[in-house]
């Protein structure tokens, strides 16, 4: 291996590691609030105040922390509200939200809330 490559390899590794650590997305540890109207669930949450937040993803399912959407594939929303429709009646649903940033990174889950649909 040429000498120049030996010198550049540690530098390239350091740059790669530093770029992976940039722009983390803060999550809100608080859970969204929920209101049920005609079988639909309106979720609302506090915005993440970081300047590079580009949106949110909503996750839901019928078991705690076991959502129908795989991580990274939650229902996208640019607002701090989202209405989930098409849910079955007489079931308990669990909800959580993540934030995404302009670099495509996603925060961890918010606190979780559940709703019992009539």
The pLDDT tens digits for 63-78 are 999 999 999 999 999 9
Only one residue has tokens 């996208």, namely 76
The pLDDT tens digits for 23-66 are 455 555 588 999 999 889 999 999 999 889 999 999 999 999 99
Question: Could you give the domains of the chain?
Answer: 24-116 (2.60.40.10)
CA separation for the pair 118, 115 (Å, rounded): 10
């Amino acid at each position: 291996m040429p000498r120049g490559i030996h010198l550049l390899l540690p530098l390239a590794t350091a740059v790669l590691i530093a770029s992976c650590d940039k722009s983390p997305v803060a999550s809100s540890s608080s859970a969204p609030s929920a209101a049920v109207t005609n079988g639909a669930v309106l979720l609302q949450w506090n915005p993440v105040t970081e300047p590079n937040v580009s949106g949110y993803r909503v996750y839901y399912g019928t078991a705690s922390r076991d959502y129908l959407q795989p991580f990274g594939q939650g229902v996208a929303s640019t607002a701090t509200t989202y209405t989930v429709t098409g849910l079955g009646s007489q079931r308990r649903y669990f909800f959580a939200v993540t934030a995404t940033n302009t670099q495509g990174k996603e925060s961890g889950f918010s606190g979780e809330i559940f709703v019992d649909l009539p």
